[in-house]
């Protein structure tokens, strides 16, 4: 197996395009190494993205107007600890902090987590809930795409050969409250069985100005049901509305069955976790976390 360590983005793109599906990009390597060890992949060439020198902001977390940009070289530990993320995207900081263990978080990147597209990853629920976009550079130049459509299926994204995620851009919402909760069914270091990201802007008397809820880890891609939550605009965020949303999410989502839980079990947990998430938002309205 060939190992390449390009210093220029063009070189990395050209290598990826040349070797097509025989190439594998490596960022933190936490998923790639496991896939190699388990014999799930057998690439001709590994292309290490950790030495690119000409991608502006690749190791930075930058606040730009109404969004925060996280470069492809930023680890989950850095995401979890960065003051700007903790202040403006506390749900993303929480999701990053709950991934696996400290060794994984120190090596794994946020962009690699999204590019892996494992249905049971933590950050994607938050990224979809906030309408985040991937910034991709490839043989045909740069493009942006919402994470929601970038994630296509189990371990599948819209990335074409030679395309590299150079950053994630996450919108910030003024005067919002947000939560990320992770329900694990096996061990404290496990991936989620069910996860819930919620984000609300609540006016005086707790009336809902906007509300987004995304359930992760239960289906091939995170599920965000805007038709359910937009119908609640103008209503009061309280136990009654929380229970209504929870019941609708349970009814609409057809969960997978796997070693972390059966479809039936996940349906039960979805209803409980969505309700609790929204009750907590109702209690914490007025702050950002």
Ligand X SMILES: Cc1cc2nc3c(=O)[nH]c(=O)nc-3n(C[C@H](O)[C@H](O)[C@H](O)COP(=O)(O)OP(=O)(O)OC[C@H]3O[C@@H](n4cnc5c(N)ncnc54)[C@H](O)[C@@H]3O)c2cc1C
Name the residues that contact ligand X, by CB under 6 A.
24-32, 34, 49, 72, 99-100, 104, 107-109, 111-113, 115-116, 121-122, 159, 164-165, 191
Q: Which residues contact 45 (CB under 8 A, 6 or more apart)?
A: 1, 2, 3, 4, 15, 19, 22, 23, 24
In whole angstroms, the minimum distance from the beta carbon of 54 to ligand X comes to 15
Place of tokens 């292309």: 47
Q: Which is nearer to ligand X, 93 or 99 (CB)?
A: 99
**Residue whose CB is nearest to ligand X in the complex, by number:** 112
Q: Which is nearer to ligand X, 24 or 221 (CB)?
A: 24
CA 41 to CA 36: how far, in whole Å?
6
Q: Sheet harboring 23-26: ordered strands across?
A: 2-4, 45-48, 23-26
- For residues 154 and 65, the answer to whether their CB atoms sit within 8 Å is no
In whole angstroms, the minimum distance from the beta carbon of 152 to ligand X comes to 13
In whole angstroms, the minimum distance from the beta carbon of 67 to ligand X comes to 18
In whole angstroms, the minimum distance from the beta carbon of 232 to ligand X comes to 29
Q: Which is nearer to ligand X, 32 or 128 (CB)?
A: 32
Q: Which is nearer to ligand X, 21 or 227 (CB)?
A: 21
Both tokens assigned to 174: 């003024």
- For residues 12 and 52, the answer to whether their CB atoms sit within 8 Å is yes
Q: Which is nearer to ligand X, 38 or 240 (CB)?
A: 38
- For residues 216 and 124, the answer to whether their CB atoms sit within 8 Å is yes
CA 133 to CA 98: how far, in whole Å?
22
In whole angstroms, the minimum distance from the beta carbon of 25 to ligand X comes to 4
In whole angstroms, the minimum distance from the beta carbon of 57 to ligand X comes to 13
Q: Which is nearer to ligand X, 67 or 165 (CB)?
A: 165
If DSSP codes are grouped into helix, strand and coil, which group holds residue 194? strand
């Amino acid at each position: 197996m060939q190992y390449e360590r390009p210093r220029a983005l063009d070189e990395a793109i050209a290598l990826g395009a040349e070797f097509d599906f025989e190439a594998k990009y490596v960022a933190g390597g936490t998923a790639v190494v496991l896939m190699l060890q388990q014999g799930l992949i057998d690439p001709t060439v590994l292309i290490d993205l950790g030495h690119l020198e000409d991608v502006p902001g690749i190791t930075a977390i930058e606040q730009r107007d109404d969004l925060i940009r996280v470069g492809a070289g930023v680890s989950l530990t850095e995401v979890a600890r960065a003051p700007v993320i903790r202040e403006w995207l506390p749900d993303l900081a929480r999701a990053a902090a709950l991934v696996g263990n400290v060794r994984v978080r120190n090596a794994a990147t946020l962009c690699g987590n999204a590019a892996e597209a494992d249905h049971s990853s933590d950050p994607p629920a938050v990224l979809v809930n906030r309408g985040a976009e991937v910034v991709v550079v490839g043989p045909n130049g740069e493009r942006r795409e919402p994470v929601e459509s970038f994630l296509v299926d189990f371990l599948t994204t819209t990335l074409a050969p030679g395309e590299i995620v150079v950053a994630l851009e996450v919108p910030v919402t003024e005067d919002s409250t947000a939560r990320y909760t992770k329900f694990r069914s096996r061990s404290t270091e496990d991936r989620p069985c069910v996860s819930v990201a919620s984000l609300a802007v609540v006016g005086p008397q707790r009336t809902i100005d906007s509300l987004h809820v995304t359930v992760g880890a239960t289906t091939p891609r995170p599920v965000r049901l805007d038709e359910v939550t937009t119908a609640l605009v103008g209503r009061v965020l309280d136990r009654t509305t929380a229970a209504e949303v929870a019941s609708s999410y349970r009814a609409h989502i057809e969960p997978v069955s796997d070693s972390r839980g059966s479809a039936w079990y996940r349906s039960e947990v979805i209803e409980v976790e969505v309700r609790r998430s929204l009750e907590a938002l109702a209690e914490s309205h007025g702050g950002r976390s």
